[in-house]
Amino acid sequence: VVLTNGDVDHVAGLLSLRESQPFAIYGTRSVQRAIAESPIFGVVSTNMVPRVTVEPGSTVSLPGGLACEIFMVPGKVPLYQEGDEVEVGLETDATVGLRISAGDARCYYVPGCASITPALRDRLRGADLVLFDGTLFRDDEMIREGLGSKTGRRMGHVSMSGPEGAMAGLDGLGIGRKVFIHINNTNPVLIDGSPERRQVEAAGWEIAHDGQEIAL
């Protein structure tokens, strides 16, 4: 298990992997600290499941001949670590992306990202596959729907649409396949045939679905 962030949607699944099953938990210093600070994660015994701290910029070898490089992306600390003031959009080791490669194939896994920087564009250029943060379609989507008071930006997620969004930002980079993941339940792209769904598909993006398998 390689953790890219300490938020609930990234780490709560560990609690379902507590049945004396051997694996390892990779994560940056920040993310390892986040789970270490909540004793409930002790149910995943460190005797059976070592916790391996990885530095951004380093590459770890994973079973199956995979190489996994960890790199920082703009983000924020987990919700439950927020204090009165929160800095969103900084590149720290609280939110990272992964470059996963085997042989000549390489894909990127970036489930949380607050903005598309020039450095990120350069990194993703020409990748075979990019799995990218598709939390919201519009930055104010949750507010409009009366379901919350936060913008996507405030939550550390770049939106799909708009001039600074993921579709515009990752256009023209010669990426083989682009797939939105980590999609919030307010996002209208989840509705087959919705105008927003057609818009992302027209821009060359796919919407991930449960159980999806991708061969490169």
Cα–Cα distance between 119 and 149 in angstroms, integer?
31
- CB-nearer residue toward its own copies: 85 or 104: 85
Rounded least distance, CB 13 to its own copies, Å: 10
**Minimum separation from the CB atom of position 38 to its own copies (A):** 4
Q: Determine the 3-state secondary structure of 158 from DSSP.
A: coil
User: Which pair of structure tokens corresponds to residue 24?
Assistant: 């390892």
Residues that bind its own copies (CB under 8 A): 8, 11-12, 15-16, 18, 20, 34, 37-43, 78-81, 147-148
Which 8-state DSSP code applies to residue 159? -
Q: Which is nearer to its own copies, 16 or 61 (CB)?
A: 16
Q: What is the smallest separation between the CB atom of 144 and its own copies, expressed in angstroms?
A: 15
The nearest distance, CB 159 to its own copies, in angstroms, is 19
Residue 40 vs 119, nearer CB to its own copies: 40
DSSP output for 168-197: HHTTTS--SEEEEES--TT-GGGSTT-HHH
- The DSSP 8-state label assigned to residue 5 in this structure reads B
Task: Give me the DSSP letters along 55-114.
Answer: -TT-EEEETTTEEEEEEEEEE---GGG--SS---SEEEEEEEEEEEEETTEEEEEES--S
**What distance in Å separates the CA atoms of residue 118 and residue 116, rounded to the nearest whole number?**
7
Which residue lies nearer to its own copies by CB, 31 or 107?
A: 31
Residue type for position 107: C
Is-contact 124 173, C-beta < 8 A? yes
User: Nearest distance from residue 8's CB to its own copies, in Å?
Assistant: 5
**Distance in Å, CB of 37 to its own copies, minimum:** 6
Tokens 């770049």 — which residue?
A: 158
Residue 146 or 163: which CB sits closer to its own copies?
Answer: 146
